[in-house]
Amino acid sequence: MKTLRILPITLALAPLALSAQERFATRNGHIAFLSETAMENIAADNRKVTSVFDATTGAIEFAVLIKAFEFEKALMQEHFNENYMESNTFPKATFKGKITGVGEDEMKKEGTYMVSAQGDLTIHGVTKPVTVKGTLTVDAAGAVKASGEFTIKPEDHGIKIPGVVRDNIAEQVKVTVKLDYAKM
């Protein structure tokens, strides 16, 4: 009799167990950018990137605190935050999208997969669609690493470059993303 009462509960909960999500997260991802011009190169690193990746659905999100970018020269960092990024007004950049090119089955075995992340990138309060080509690596322990590279145009995100320094800042800035995830 008890078995007959437990069976409906078990059947009701079975879909929830079957759809369990494989989620991964990091709080110390790395995003770097490089602006290369004949006048000078400007590079910065941010190692405080937070991100969540759902291997079941391919959903990925990350957030970057703008003030966490570190430059070789303190004056560059000050100008970046105050004059260009206006980081007091726009304190973070975000990406929300989906990774394609790897399925749930591949996520359960060791390997490196060519992937594409497609979604919305918000910088300086302006959201633009972006597609990023990259790799997703699953190691023997099941940990996941994601990396990719893309370019952005500051003007596309409402970032104004004064004419006086226009030749010092590239029209397209190269962005590199490296995320080492741990299972949640």
Domains annotated for the chain, with CATH where assigned, are 22-183 (2.40.128.110)
> Are 151 and 113 spatial neighbours (Cβ–Cβ below 8 Å)?
no
Q: Which of 17-31, 92-106, 147-161 has the lowest mean pLDDT?
A: 17-31
Q: 84: which DSSP letter?
A: I
Mean pLDDT over all residues of the chain? 89
Give every CB contact of residue 149 below 8 A, 6+ residues apart in sequence.
132, 133, 134, 174, 175, 176, 177
Positive/negative CA dihedral, 47, 50, 53, 58: negative
| Residue percentage of the chain with pLDDT more than 90 | 76
Q: Give the C-alpha distances (Å, rounded to integers) separating 156 from 26, 126, 173, 184.
A: 28, 8, 11, 35
78-119 pLDDT per residue, tens:
999 998 999 999 999 999 999 999 988 888 889 999 999 999
- Mean pLDDT (whole number) for 5-34: 67
Question: What's residue 31's pLDDT?
Answer: 98
Question: What's residue 21's pLDDT?
Answer: 62
Question: What's residue 5's pLDDT?
Answer: 52
Model confidence at 18: pLDDT above 70: no
Q: How confident is the model at residue 19 (pLDDT cuts 50, 70, 90)?
A: very low
Give every CB contact of residue 129 below 8 A, 6+ residues apart in sequence.
118, 119, 120, 121
- Mean pLDDT (whole number) for 149-164: 92
Question: What's residue 167's pLDDT?
Answer: 87
Dihedral angle of Cα 81, 82, 85, 90, to the nearest 10 degrees:
90
Whole-model pTM? 0.85
Rounded Cα gap, residues 83 and 170, in angstroms: 16
Greater model confidence, 161 or 130: 130
